[in-house]
Amino acid sequence: MISELKKEFNNFNKEYTQKFPKIKKSKERLEHFKKFEQLGFPNKKLEDWKFSDFNSILEGKFNKLSVSLDDKKEIEFKNYIKDFEHNKIVFFNGFYSSKLSRIENSKKNIASRLTDVSLSPFGDKSLNLLNSAFLTDGISLRVENNYEFKKPLVIYNIFDSKKDNNFFNQKITVDIGENSKLDLIILNINLSSNPIFLNLSNFFEIKKNGLFKLFYVNEFNNQDINYTSTHAFVSSNGIFENFIMPYKGGFVKNDISCVLKGNYSSGFINGAILARDSQHYEIKTHILHQKENTKSYQKIKSVLDKKSKGIFQGKIYVDSKAQKTDGYQLSKAILLDKESEFDSKPELEIYADDVKCSHGSTSGNLDENSIFYLMSRGLSRQEAKKLLIEGFLVDAIETITNKEIKEYFLEKLKNKINEFK
């Protein structure tokens, strides 16, 4: 596939330069693609991908990856989130729509298209390099100091593409100023039956006393692939919260790196995975404690059914300077059939002596005694199972502190559970 992708890149790079002559970055793109060629698509030989042979998964779903710069039509837009008022940034088929995007107090909160700003890869892994080589568009948002968003911001990433446009590469950067606050939801939606591969790179900087809450959810089809790489850097007394629900999609991997680079900075990563029908969902985290009195908390809950696969790889790294670190990590999974699979790899790497760190991982079946108890109270077996599944996963959603956003995810969870038969 890489030889075919090289031809696609050459055509794409030439066409992009012609359509956007002010963006003179064809040489940079070529350098990134050459580095990607040397590495290739990830496979199980890489430690970060030991449970997922991405190369085989990709070839099993796509004969060819292709990009079209002409497929930029603005389809009819509707607010897919109606539960609460919100700001919005809208993308159609990988391209930013300024006409539909609205941000409060835009003089203080400056948003610019990333194609006008930067092409540097966020990370040195093969899919990061591929993202920069094929980057079509993105957004860079800077929140000024001492500003708290009154309403959440939703990035609607909507796709309704043709068969010859199935490969999308975007970047999102957010700079949270000192004493500022933002709640951001990234919602990816594929309206078409044509399978897509979305390769998304995020870069977040949280300044002193900043608070940034990120929520991630997909509305994809079972043939769609999504890889999201997130890099967050948190300064003194800053807080980064990330909640992940890979709601729908064939293969979804969230690869998160959080660097706690200031004293008393915190990173919280929580997720709820509910997979069935051979869906493959993975959350990988790497939290680096670099300064004193930093705190991290991770909780990932998974329910897997009908040949699905769930993966959690979580690493806590504590630098020798990071005394009085508090790090906690927990992953739990319920397997509803014998053909589903859950893989977990928790890690602690500690070089300081005054720390409090722990990790744990468990997996098993639904408790038959609990099912029997609920059935004795008048529920059917199916109703009892759904109630237990909901109670198990709600524990992760309860970590969300924004009441309106919490209710939104609780409703999505109930809808997904109702699909189980």
Query: Could you read off the pLDDT of 253-286 as tens digits, one per residue?
Result: 999 999 999 999 999 999 999 999 999 999 999 9
Q: Give the CA distances from residue 178 to residues 148, 312, 375, in Å, rounded to whole numbers and listed in that order.
A: 10, 32, 53
Contact at 8 Å (CB) between 200 and 167?
no
Q: What is the DSSP letter of 114?
A: G
DSSP per residue, 133-154: HS--EEEEEEEPTT-B-SS-EE
**Domain annotation covers residue 22:** yes
**Total tally of structural domains belonging to the chain:** 1
Look-up: residue for tokens 């998304």? 200
Q: Where residue 386 falls among pLDDT bands split at 50, 70, 90?
A: very high
- Distance of alpha carbon 61 from alpha carbon 363, whole angstroms: 29
Q: Give the CA distances from residue 78 to residues 73, 95, 154, 156, 189, in Å, rounded to whole numbers and listed in that order.
A: 15, 17, 13, 10, 12
The pLDDT, as a whole number, for residue 70 is: 78
The two three-digit tokens of residue 250, written as one number: 């064939």
Sheet-wide strand order for 239-248: 95-102, 87-92, 153-159, 181-190, 211-219, 239-248, 266-275, 295-304, 325-335, 355-364
Contact at 8 Å (CB) between 242 and 269?
yes
- Distance of alpha carbon 308 from alpha carbon 248, whole angstroms: 12
Collapsed DSSP state (helix, strand, coil) of residue 41 = coil
Neighbouring-strand partners of residue 200: 170, 228
Mean pLDDT (whole number) for 8-24: 81
Mean pLDDT (whole number) for 72-80: 75
Q: Where residue 111 falls among pLDDT bands split at 50, 70, 90?
A: low
For the chain, give the number of residues. Answer: 421
Q: Where residue 26 falls among pLDDT bands split at 50, 70, 90?
A: confident
**Domain annotation covers residue 108:** yes
Q: Quick check: 74 pLDDT over 80?
A: no
**Domain annotation covers residue 315:** no
Burial label, 287 (beta-carbon count in 10 A; 0-12, 13-18, 19+): buried
Contact at 8 Å (CB) between 61 and 1?
no
**Domain annotation covers residue 212:** yes
Helix axes 126-133, 26-39, angle to 10 degrees: 150
- Reference 134, options 73, 201, 192, 187; nearest CA is 201
The two three-digit tokens of residue 114, written as one number: 């990333």
- Distance of alpha carbon 341 from alpha carbon 153, whole angstroms: 35
Helices and strands, counts by H and E, the chain: 7, 19
**Domain annotation covers residue 36:** yes
- Reference 2, options 53, 26, 36; nearest CA is 36
The two three-digit tokens of residue 146, written as one number: 């001492």
Label the pairing between strands 225-234 and 197-206: parallel
pTM over 0.85: yes
User: What backbone torsions phi and psi does residue 314 show, to the nearest 5 degrees?
Assistant: -130, 130
CA angle 222, 224, 226 (to 5 degrees): 125
**Domain annotation covers residue 278:** no
Longest Cα–Cα distance of the chain, Å, equals 71
**Domain annotation covers residue 393:** no
| Model confidence pLDDT, tens digit, residues 404-418 | 999 999 999 999 898
The pLDDT, as a whole number, for residue 119 is: 66
| Model confidence pLDDT, tens digit, residues 325-360 | 999 999 999 999 999 999 999 999 999 999 999 999
Domain that holds residue 19: 2-261
Helix axes 26-39, 2-19, angle to 10 degrees: 170
**Domain annotation covers residue 37:** yes
Q: Quick check: 108 pLDDT over 70?
A: no
The pLDDT, as a whole number, for residue 106 is: 73
